[in-house]
Amino acid sequence: MSKPLLIGPFTQLLPMSGLPLKGALSDERLIIVEDGGIIVSEGKIKAVGVFEDLKPDATDIQYIEGNHVCLPGFVDAHTHICFGGSRARDYAYRNSGKTYLEIAKAGGGIWDTVTQTRKASQKNLVEGIVARSKAHLQNGTTTIEVKSGYGLSIDEELKMLRAIQEADKKIKIDLISTCLAAHMKPKDWPEDKNYLETIASQLFPILKSGGLTNRIDAFIEENAFSAKEIGPYFQKAKAMGFDITVHADQFTTGGSKVAVAFNAISADHLEASTEKEIQLLAKSDVIPIALPGASLGLGCDFTPARRLLDAGSALAIASDHNPGSAPMGNLLAQASILGTFEKLSNAEVLAGITSRAGAALNVLDRGTLEAYKLADFVVFPTNNYQEITYHQGQLRPNMVWKKGEKIYE
């Protein structure tokens, strides 16, 4: 048994606990513990409260000097940080006015990244994931969801998912993998064979037996897969016990309806969602995930976060970090900017990258600071939590703890 260690005092400690999962949140709902402390033991939180009051329950104390705000470690619930190559050319083309079709014809788009990712060895992919994860850690992220989806064959999807599994073992941050073999129809797939059927019958069992993921994602869009095509694929995934998540309503609607029909954990993107989709999602248990990094990368509208919250939905915010639509990858900067454009309270933005993001990944052991949760927390050098979104990602954490261990300073 490790001795209970008290860490603090923190000028402000925001546990992000006790908040409702769904609906709008005003800042008055936030609990702010002044001169707070956390007792950690065995990688978990034993107690959270006023530093002085916690002293009798701790064997050791780690004092924090100066003004600091402490929050749960950030959870990035949607990324594609396993990839080869770069799409800087796509970005330049897009910004000079070239259309999606012109870019695809010039060899750009998702297929370009598929080609680059297939050329990369598993070792190269691991190195890329580790390097990107370290950059995310410096912005306070302690859990990252990572999708496959640039392999698009059984072997290449497996290479990606094995790279994610290997990278997870190399770093202290937790990586949560998702199979996105249904990202687009592979251009080189034989015409006489049904791609999704093959993936479901041949890849799904290997994912299960190899412990490679328990999450299945699909991109429902005109240039990817239709709602009709995805039906049997998701049915098979559900029957095998996988959690479902959907790339929905990014450019055209349709995906959110599928997400609701299959009781997906989350529906991500939703930039094109109209009132109809917003109401449908609000009545369901599906958690919408806004991806402001994709709006910034593509120069498109933001997810209607305000309307989703006002309709009664939960809302998580993730970076979508990927080489095509969201190359920036700074979750805190993007969440803060989404807040500015969508008029979100600090409570809504911060819950979107902590408690609600944990729920959107179905990892309920993190995202809040309370007893029995993982001791994952991030500390900013300021005396006022409002400074964090105000600086739009430029105020960086000076310490990050993961499972009770300080892993960044």
User: Interface residues with Fe ion (CB under 5 A)?
Assistant: 320
**How many residues touch ligand NIG (CB under 6 A)?**
13
CA dist 246 to 8, 31, 180, 251, Å? 40, 33, 9, 14
Cα distance between residue 44 and residue 402, in whole Å: 9
Site string for ligand NIG, 333-362 (x = CB under 6 A): ------------------------------
H or E segment at 132?
Answer: helix 122-137
Backbone angles phi, psi at 315, to 5 degrees: -150, 120
Region near ligand NIG per CB under 6 A, out of 233-241, 315-323, 341-349, 377-385: 315-323
Contact call for residue 322 and ligand NIG (CB under 6 A): yes
Considering beta carbons, is residue 257 or 402 the nearer one to ligand NIG?
Answer: 257
Query: What DSSP designation does 301 have?
Result: P
Which of 217, 271, 277, 320 lies at the binding interface for ligand NIG (CB under 6 A)? 320
Question: What token pair was written down for 60?
Answer: 């050791």
Q: How many CA atoms lie within 13 A of 223 on its CB side?
A: 9
Which region, left, alpha or beta, applies to residue 35 given φ > 0 means left and ψ of -120 to 50 means alpha? Answer: left
Min CB(320)–Fe ion separation in Å: 5
Minimum distance from CB of 98 to ligand NIG (Å)?
15
Q: How far is the CB of 247 from Fe ion (least distance, A)?
A: 6
Q: Which of 52-60, 133-141, 319-327, 397-405 is the region at the interface with ligand NIG (rule: CB under 6 A)?
A: 319-327
Q: CA–CA separation, 93 vs 11, rounded Å?
A: 47
Angle between helices 122-137 and 154-170 (to 10 degrees): 50
User: Which of 113, 256, 303, 354: binder of ligand NIG (CB under 6 A)?
Assistant: 113
The letter for the amino acid at 345 is S
Tell which one of 136, 159, 247, 373 touches ligand NIG (CB under 6 A). 247
Of all residues in this chain, which one has the CB nearest to ligand NIG in the complex?
Answer: 324
- Cβ–Cβ under 8 Å, residues 341 and 347: no
The CB-of-86 to ligand NIG minimum distance in angstroms stands at 11
Strand 377-380 to 69-72 pairing: antiparallel
Phi-psi region of 8 (alpha: psi -120 to 50; beta: other; left: phi over 0): left
Q: Does 259 bind ligand NIG (CB under 6 A)?
A: no
Stretch that binds ligand NIG, among 117-125, 196-204, 227-235, 323-331 (CB under 6 A): 323-331
User: Rounded to the nearest 10 degrees, what angle do helices 110-119 and 154-170 cross at?
Assistant: 70
Binding to ligand NIG by residue 273, rule CB under 6 A? no
Q: How far apart are CA 65 and CA 62, in angstroms?
A: 10
Residue 219 interface partner, choices ligand NIG, Fe ion, none, CB cut-off 5-8 Å depending on type: ligand NIG
Task: Tell whether residue 250 is a contact of ligand NIG (CB under 6 A).
Answer: yes
319 is a site residue for ligand NIG (CB under 6 A): no
The residue ranges that bind ligand NIG (CB under 6 A) are 80, 110, 113, 219, 247, 250, 294, 320, 322-326
